[in-house]
Structure 1
Amino acid sequence: MSDTHRLKVEKSEEEWRAQLTPEQFRVTRKHGTERAFTGPNWDNKAAGLYSCVCCGRPLFRSETKFDSGTGWPSFYAPIEPDAVTEHRDRSFFMVRTEIRCADCDAHLGHVFEDGPPPTGLRYCMNGVAMDFTPDEA
């Protein structure tokens, strides 16, 4: 974590609904998934920062993004190890590792062990769960 202590972001369901689009709410607060090849930034190749759409926490940098062929933005590492948390997901008759924002518990996606070096991980994220800020030229 960065040098500043981060506080957990807690809001009511009504507050989240007022802040987010219906699709952002469905994915981040209700653990949904956007359809492949439909969300924002799955094919974005610009340099920049991906942050949580719910609380603004920096999550991933473009330098760790890669084309996984899955139709979702994929990264091999978060911006810092404690930017995200891992949770066991037993939905859909399988066991996966769910990834959430460490600050607000927004559902972001899942991590798999079939990614490229140097980590061998594929953080397969929902595009609607993240805002992209391009680097300044």
Structure 2
Amino acid sequence: MPATTRSRHRLRATSLSVSALIGLAAVVLGPAPAQAAECVGGMCGGVTASPHTALPVKYTTQWSTSPAVSGTLRAGQSAGGWWSGVDVDGFYVPQYCHASVSGWGSSSAGAGWHKIATNQQVTVNIQCA
């Protein structure tokens, strides 16, 4: 068998071996984990703690069924926002509290986590009874 034919056979066998390994890894490792929302173009979700908020505002950049706190904002501080490269996905209102929210579809929010869309910039003012 000529050298060029042997080289082609070796290359084909190597390609098949690599493809088989990739396929096996996909089966063993399973699907990739869900990714958090990301900025779209320059649009990134953002949150600002109102200068009048009674409590700091907790936020997440990893939205899920039970979001983890990514950071906490004191009155007047902000996170994320357009062209920042950081997409804030939600904010948290503590139990027994409510929040007035501007820049959002609703003007108030009860206790719990609240989703922020990638194109939204909200200001949150938490008040507790």
TM-score (norm 2): 0.26
- Larger Rg computed on CA atoms: 2
TM-score (norm 1): 0.25
